């Protein structure tokens, strides 16, 4: 970043442990300087321009969609820009499933997040290598870019996709987001391992049901203060190679056609030199839903002129032909020029060259089959560590950690659940998740653990594990046969004909591949012999581990289940994101039930065998288990099928993917109250991606652990915390409110009354809160200008000491209180550090605050360091929330304006 001396300065009065005042001039930083092109980037741009210059106009326009077809005559392979990896790579191999991003944010650990992102990028690259080996390049999940991270601000706890974000705070989101971007891309952003794509630029956080046509009004203050800082950091600090624009309008202009966002801020003030991709169908929405443009041609022109280089179109999922026609029409009508098209393609092809998809700048990475660096022991260990660091201890009256040898009853609908651990945007092919019940059995082998099944609930829906499946020859898993179509299907389908065409497809009588798979999951994409359109038939036996009533059926869509030769479930007409279709059935332990599942693989195909053992009389099961126990562990919460992305699910408390209440589902609240009435100590473990009302649990439970959606090792991580093997150290990246009545309307994007920075009520648990099994103390804080002048910022120092009996990790948090100036938040996080301490150990902690860290935003949207009295606080959480904290005042005499 470039800086220059200003004609005016500010005087910083730094209180040094309450002693003398030091004054120094402070200069304002300029806007980020445009990055100088490295030799690699310059070469890539030159080669990209040469390639684009050899293409015909038709070839060029086809490359503007997320599915870029091969151009054989130029030696260009197919490429699909659609790759997802928010907290784990999604593809055709079992990949490592890390905690949901909201859980990663709760770690307050940028080094951890960077390690997680690096592991994800390794697995993304391996999936790309596999696609080269099997000839599957051009399919979703095979590219060397990723549409991650989601750095929108989780401004309202009702938003269903808030789980994908890093929480409600712009500073925390920025720092965690930068760490993720740098981990994904590696040390050289000009030669990235994988290209990161922060999304959804920029003012986007629900409601899900209106996102395709909503017009969001946002003040200049809130835009600069809340919605832009994380994106600015991802670009200027993280050097992200791509950005995804959002669905909605902002002040009347679609985000993917926004001059303010894409021109003024992104490429103007922030000097972004990467490419912009639209969210899927966001360009279509410009005409179809926003009515901002009269037709498709003017819509694509508006997006391209604003700076969108690549359009994700949902119809690419069905291999629809003619999706580039609006660009051809826009060219013909003079709405865009060949120069516009070439500029977009040079950006895209420069990226493909620099990331190693195309030769010329770096070697194309290949590896002998099979790919072996996906879901390694090292990645699995990292997943467990990330889960442990994400857990937040919210209450503990001394019951935790649980003593060895206790009798423990594990209750609640999520006690033995596994699907809930994975969260959304997760691979069904990840390692077998470990439930809390199984985790406790592993972590506490000397304890007597009983399980009380819950009644039927809309949270039900776990995949049948491979341990309950037996192939006809007695091997674990199911016999799986893949059948290609009799006649090769077309590579493209005319608009509106896909459904009819696939319904008429006929399949060969002889399978092209027959093998035993561990479970119900098609692994066709790693089989070169299997075509894109095919039928899969799984046969074998279902073998229950326990006798009882089960809810059994299929999840996903486009599949049929036969049990004992009779039809049992049919998902042929199921829609996207529907809840599983389950029926009650009595199953006996060890009995072999013949099953057959048939599914045709097309766009949006995917079927899972789902079950859940449930109680015939849940209250009786609870009493029976409690009578045998010293303590009750209730695992309750939500699922990412309920709080979700644009979901059709409508059950009490949920609509369109968003929540309509902060309360737990009524059957779960009833369970907690019944458990409390039994007189045994109660531990509540919550799994959710957003704040829930924990007021009752806070008043009645002995301990509360917030687990989020903790990933494949989540149950073991929870058990390690409950047993004391791990000292909890997570902190809340969100405010936990009592009710939606405490909040402004969901669709109102004004920040007044939202998040800890502007909410003036009393939350159940505040942002930044989290307990430990040990105690920490802080020495008085000192504040001083940095050597060389305060234009480089100020230094804040304290000493944190572990005054308890256990080793632990403290998250030292720095908050700033601002002068009484319009636009300033009541308090704001401006620093955090993890500190590992043995009992009695002390460590000096130093924070460096830049002028931007010291700044606030005026009502007109101008960022400045305001003149007046400040107070800095460092401690275990927000000042004034009952946690250890120390503070010191300092003053600034002259205001300084900062760049956007």
**Sequence-ordered strand ranges (E) for 850-884:** 856-857, 863-865, 868-875
Active-site annotation holder among 279, 388, 600, 784: 279
Residue among 256, 203, 250 nearest 228 (CA): 203
SS3 116: helix
- The backbone torsions φ and ψ at residue 356, rounded to the nearest 5 degrees and listed phi first, read 90, 20
Q: How far, in Å, CA of 846 to CA of 746, rounded?
A: 39
Read off the tokens for 83: 């790759």
- The backbone torsions φ and ψ at residue 555, rounded to the nearest 5 degrees and listed phi first, read -115, 160
CB atoms within 10 A of CB 127: 25
Contact 261, 201 (CB under 8 A): yes
DSSP structure class, residue 562: E
Contact 808, 727 (CB under 8 A): yes
Catalytic residue flag (residue 279) = yes
Region of residue 328 (phi > 0: left; psi between -120 and 50: alpha; otherwise: beta): alpha
Contact 587, 593 (CB under 8 A): yes
Say how far residue 679 (Cα) sits from the centre of its chain.
39
Catalytic residue flag (residue 643) = yes
Read off the tokens for 490: 């077309």
Q: How far, in Å, CA of 289 to CA of 278, rounded?
A: 15
Q: Give the chain's length.
A: 900
Active-site annotation holder among 641, 643, 784, 791: 643
Read off the tokens for 333: 């009508």
Residues near 253 by beta carbon (within 8 Å), at least 6 away in sequence? 259, 260, 292
Q: Pairing between strand 79-80 and 67-68?
A: antiparallel
- Sheet containing strand 253-254, edge to edge, reads 215-216, 249-250, 253-254
Say how far residue 732 (Cα) sits from the centre of its chain.
16
**Which residues are paired to 783 by β-bridges?**
796
SS3 460: coil
Contact 757, 730 (CB under 8 A): no
CB atoms within 10 A of CB 423: 28
Stretch (H or E) spanning 685? strand 682-687
Contact 130, 179 (CB under 8 A): no
Read off the tokens for 558: 């486009």
Degrees, nearest 5: CA angle 669-208-394: 35
How much helix, strand and coil, in percent to the nearest 5, is found in the chain? 25, 25, 50
Residue among 708, 745, 706 nearest 722 (CA): 706
Residue among 365, 355, 364, 360 nearest 194 (CA): 355
**Which residues are paired to 3 by β-bridges?**
29
- The backbone torsions φ and ψ at residue 126, rounded to the nearest 5 degrees and listed phi first, read -70, -35
Q: How far, in Å, CA of 177 to CA of 179, rounded?
A: 5
DSSP structure class, residue 201: B
SS3 212: coil
Q: How far, in Å, CA of 95 to CA of 199, rounded?
A: 23
Catalytic positions, please?
279, 643
């Amino acid at each position: 970043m470039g800086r220059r001396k200003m004609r005016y300065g500010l005087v910083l009065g730094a209180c040094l442990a309450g002693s003398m005042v030091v004054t120094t001039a402070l200069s304002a930083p300029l806007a980020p300087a445009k990055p100088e092109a490295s030799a690699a980037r310059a070469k890539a741009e030159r080669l990209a321009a040469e390639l684009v210059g050899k293409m015909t106009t038709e070839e060029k326009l086809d490359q503007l969609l997320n599915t870029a077809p091969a151009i054989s005559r130029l030696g260009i392979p197919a490429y699909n820009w659609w790759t997802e990896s928010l907290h784990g790579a999604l593809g055709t191999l079992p990949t490592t499933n890390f905690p949901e991003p909201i859980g990663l944010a709760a770690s307050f650990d940028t080094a951890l997040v960077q390690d997680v992102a690096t592991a994800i990028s390794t697995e993304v690259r391996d999936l790309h290598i596999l696609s080269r080996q099997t000839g599957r390049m051009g399919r979703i999940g095979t590219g060397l870019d990723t549409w991650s991270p989601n750095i929108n601000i989780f401004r309202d706890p009702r938003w269903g996709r808030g789980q994908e974000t890093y929480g409600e705070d712009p500073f925390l989101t920025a720092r965690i987001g930068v760490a993720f971007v740098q981990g994904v891309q590696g040390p050289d952003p000009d030669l990235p391992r994988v290209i990161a794509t922060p999304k959804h630029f920029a003012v986007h956080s629900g409601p899900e049901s209106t996102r395709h046509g909503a017009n969001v009004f946002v003040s200049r203050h809130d835009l600069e203060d809340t919605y832009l800082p994380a994106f600015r950091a991802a670009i200027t600090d993280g050097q992200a190679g791509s950005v995804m624009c959002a669905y909605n309008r902002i002040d009347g202009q679609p985000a993917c056609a926004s001059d303010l966002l894409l021109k003024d801020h992104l490429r103007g003030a922030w000097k972004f030199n990467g490419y912009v991709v639209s969210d899927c169908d966001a360009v279509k929405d410009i005409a179809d839903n926003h009515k901002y443009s009269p037709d498709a041609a003017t819509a694509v022109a508006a997006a391209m002129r604003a700076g969108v280089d690549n359009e994700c179109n949902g119809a690419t999922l069905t291999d629809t032909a003619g999706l580039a026609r609006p660009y051809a029409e826009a060219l013909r009508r003079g709405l865009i020029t060949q120069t516009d098209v070439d500029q977009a393609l040079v950006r895209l092809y420069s990226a493909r060259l620099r990331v190693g998809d195309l030769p010329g700048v770096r070697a194309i990475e290949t590896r002998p089959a099979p790919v072996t660096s996906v879901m390694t022991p090292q990645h699995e260990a990292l997943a467990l560590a990330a889960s442990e660091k994400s857990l937040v201890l919210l209450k503990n009256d001394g019951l935790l950690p649980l003593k060895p040898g206790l009798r423990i009853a594990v209750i609640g609908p999520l006690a033995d659940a596994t699907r809930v651990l994975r969260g959304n945007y997760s691979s069904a092919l990840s390692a077998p998740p470990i439930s809390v019940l199984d985790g406790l059995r592993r972590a506490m082998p000397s304890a007597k653990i009983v399980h009380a099944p819950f009644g039927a609930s809309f949270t039900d829906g776990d995949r049948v594990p491979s341990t309950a499946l037996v192939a006809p020859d007695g091997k674990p898993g199911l016999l799986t046969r893949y059948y290609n179509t009799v006649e090769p299907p077309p590579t493209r389908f005319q608009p509106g004909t896909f459904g009819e065409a696939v319904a008429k497809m006929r399949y060969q009588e002889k399978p092209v591949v027959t093998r035993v798979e561990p479970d119900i999951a098609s692994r066709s994409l790693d089989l070169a012999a299997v075509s894109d359109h095919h039928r899969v038939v799984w046969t074998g036996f279902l073998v229950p581990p326990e006798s009882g009533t089960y809810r059994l059926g299929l999840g996903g869509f486009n599949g049929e289940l036969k049990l004992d030769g009779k039809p049992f479930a049919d998902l042929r007409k199921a829609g996207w994101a529907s809840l599983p279709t389950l029926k009650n059935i009595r199953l006996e332990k060890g009995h072999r039930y013949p099953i057959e599942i048939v599914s045709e693989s097309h766009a949006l195909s995917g079927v899972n065998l789902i079950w859940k053992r449930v109680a015939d009389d849940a209250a009786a099961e609870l009493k029976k288990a409690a009578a045998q126990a010293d303590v009750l562990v209730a695992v309750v919460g939500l699922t990412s099928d309920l709080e979700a992305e644009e979901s059709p699910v409508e059950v009490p408390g949920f609509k369109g993917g968003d929540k309509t209440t902060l309360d737990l589902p009524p059957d779960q609240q009833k369970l907690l109250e019944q458990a409390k009435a039994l007189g045994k100590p109660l531990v509540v473990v919550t799994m959710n991606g957003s704040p829930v009302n924990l007021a009752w649990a806070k008043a009645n439970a002995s301990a509360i652990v917030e687990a989020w959606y903790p990933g494949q090792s989540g149950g073991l991580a929870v058990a390690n915390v409950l047993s004391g093997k791990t000292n909890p150290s997570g902190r809340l990246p969100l405010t936990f409110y009592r009710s939606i009545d405490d909040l402004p309307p969901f669709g109102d994007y004004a920040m007044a009354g939202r998040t800890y920075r502007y909410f003036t009520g009393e939350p159940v648990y505040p942002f930044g809160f989290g307990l430990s099994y040990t105690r920490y103390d802080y020495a008085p804080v000192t504040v001083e200008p940095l050597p060389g002048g305060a234009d480089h910022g100020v230094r804040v120092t304290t000493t944190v000491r572990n005054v308890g009996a256990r080793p632990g990790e403290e998250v030292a948090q720095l908050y700033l209180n601002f002068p009484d100036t319009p636009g300033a938040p009541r308090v704001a996080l401006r620093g955090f550090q993890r500190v590992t301490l043995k009992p009695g150990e002390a460590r000096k902690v130093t924070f460096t605050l830049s002028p931007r860290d010291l700044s606030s935003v005026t009502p007109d949207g101008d960022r400045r360091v305001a003149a007046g009295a400040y107070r800095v606080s460092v401690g275990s959480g927000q000042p004034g929330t009952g946690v250890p904290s120390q503070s010191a005042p300092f003053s600034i005499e002259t205001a300084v304006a900062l760049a956007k």
